[in-house]
Chain A
Amino acid sequence: MSTPTFKQVTSENLNLNNPVLVQVLGICSTLAVTNKLTNTLIMTVGVSLVTAFANYTLSWIRHLIARRVRMIFQVLAITFYVVLLQLILNAFVPAVARSLGPYVGLIITNCIVMGRTETFAPANPPLISWWDGFTSGLGYMLVLGLLALIREPLAFGTILDIPVFPPEYLSSGNNWTIAIMAPSAFFLLAIILWVFKTRALKIEAAAKAPKPATAGGEA
């Protein structure tokens, strides 16, 4: 298998092979951290960096790892970066670290990180592996950001903690409590998946269909 180019990797990870929408990975944290956009952004930046650097490290030592013990190394490298991230968050943005709670630690078992280090890093050179990890994280960020952008106003009447709805929205108890809780992300994610999948199928069909005549086509 030849090494994919940076451009291919980018478009795959952000679009047609998006880790959340197509591979349906990382759903646990998708449900858990999307009720506030600030948390979502920090969490997804964290996942991007951890995936990128874990991929880089594992790709760098890929010829030295015996295949039967590769899992040990994957978990070791991922854990290293996650604990590092956790220490940095605790020290410099403690309030966010508190509200993210256990989910930063759970990046260790985030399926996207595991998936990329298992499939991409052992077969490709370090730099492209870094890029693959990073763009996978960005693909994850796109979807989670969208979810948070819908959930936060409904749940708290704010975006990035800036009020967007009149104060009566919260004080009269009209806010959607369901939007705070995980099930709302299930519904929203299903809708987003549906829209995305429909579009992806259309693109696929268009790619397979013979090229239509350039002029005189139907409007």
Chain B
Amino acid sequence: MKINKDGHIFTISFTFFMTVVLVFPLTLAYVGTKPIADAYWLDQHVIKTLASMGLPADAKNIEKAREEYKKLDKYTIGKLAKDSAGKLIVVYDTIDYDAIAKDPTLLHLFPSDSDRAALAEAKMTMDDVVSKALQDNSYTGNIPAFFYVTEADGQKRFGGDFTGPGLWGNVSLAVGSNADLSEISGMRVLFNVETPGLGGRIEEPGFTAQFDKIKPASNVGLVFNHPGTPAPNGFDAISGATITSAAIKDTINQRALVLLKAFVAQKGGS
């Protein structure tokens, strides 16, 4: 039988065939490269979290940084559940920032003592929980709120990962603070898909260095600097990236500082 290559049947089946032929190797390539890509993503998270908390973090000595990171006490907002395979997972709660801003006691931290026991029984640590959440969101940047607390030089240090809306997608920030939240120890951008060369420059050291030792005001948090009159709680926006700069300001003021304040209230007391 002669095949009519312009006919519907041939065209549709050939299209279908080619799609399968091409998509299959892509799936293999994705599965094959995901662990390598994730390893970099997790290490970046380690370095940036430590750096934001003012702790030593050297990308060249990643082993040491991982050790340091392991020592941090980690918390999040969520509860334990079982997935379809019966494996223990954490379901993250939607966070009502306004309510927590009004009443910091509404922040219910995970893991509670019973959660801890359940995690230990399943031979899981909070590091596994964080690492899974990061791997699940490596392409969306929708990182759940994580909190870190540790002690260095006899002082408590706090930190956390906070995600807010940017111009094109999620902007996720690592923000650290001193014991009484009077000073931000640092800020690093964990994830962003802002315009390269404009909003994307929030990743650059020149921008993030502005947040080292910045002192948020108790009422307004951080503000933009006015030309010529830098404020102790002010930072310079990026010209040409108004929305991204405002997204950083809002994520820090309305999310990071709100949650950190509630977190420090519960885990503070140096």
Q: Which A residues fall within an 8 A CB radius of B?
A: 32, 35, 61, 63-69, 72-73, 76-77, 80, 83-84, 87-88, 90-92, 94, 98-103, 177, 180-182
Contact call B196/A101, Cβ cutoff below 8 A: yes
Contact call B198/A181, Cβ cutoff below 8 A: yes
- Asked if A69 meets B36 with Cβ closer than 8 Å, knowing A87-B30, A99-B196, A181-B240, the reply is no
- Asked if A102 meets B196 with Cβ closer than 8 Å, knowing A61-B18, A64-B5, the reply is yes
Interface of A, secondary structure class, is helix
Q: Which of B10, B14, B22 contacts A80 (CB 8 A)?
A: B22
Q: How far is the CA of A180 from the CA of B240 in the complex (A)?
A: 12
Determine the chain B residues whose CB is within 8 A of the CB of A84 once the complex forms.
Answer: 25-26, 29
Q: How far is the CA of A160 from the CA of B5 in the complex (A)?
A: 51
Determine the chain B residues whose CB is within 8 A of the CB of A87 once the complex forms.
Answer: 26, 29-30, 33, 37
Determine the chain A residues whose CB is within 8 A of the CB of B112 once the complex forms.
Answer: none
Q: How far is the CA of A69 from the CA of B13 in the complex (A)?
A: 12
21 contacts between A and B (CB under 8 A): A63-B5, A66-B10, A66-B11, A73-B15, A76-B19, A80-B26, A84-B25, A87-B26, A87-B37, A90-B33, A91-B33, A91-B40, A98-B203, A99-B196, A101-B193, A101-B196, A101-B200, A102-B193, A102-B196, A177-B239, A181-B240
Q: Which B residues fall within an 8 A CB radius of A?
A: 5-6, 10-11, 14-15, 18-19, 22-23, 25-26, 29-30, 33, 36-37, 40-41, 193, 195-198, 200, 203, 239-240
Min CB distance, B36 to chain A, in Å? 4
Determine the chain B residues whose CB is within 8 A of the CB of A94 once the complex forms.
Answer: 37, 40-41
How many residue pairs bridge A and B at CB < 8 Å?
64
Contact call A69/B18, Cβ cutoff below 8 A: no
Q: How far is the CA of A64 from the CA of B18 in the complex (A)?
A: 11
Contact call B196/A91, Cβ cutoff below 8 A: no
Known: A84-B26, A99-B196. 8 other contacts (CB 8 A): A64-B5, A66-B5, A76-B19, A76-B22, A87-B26, A94-B41, A103-B196, A177-B239
Q: How far is the CA of A182 from the CA of B11 in the complex (A)?
A: 42
Min CB distance, A37 to chain B, in Å? 14
Contact call B198/A66, Cβ cutoff below 8 A: no
Contact call A72/B33, Cβ cutoff below 8 A: no
Contact call A64/B14, Cβ cutoff below 8 A: yes
Q: How far is the CA of A99 from the CA of B202 in the complex (A)?
A: 12
Determine the chain B residues whose CB is within 8 A of the CB of A80 once the complex forms.
Answer: 22-23, 26
Residue among B15, B22, B23, B193 with most chain A CB within 10 A: B22
Min CB distance, A62 to chain B, in Å? 11
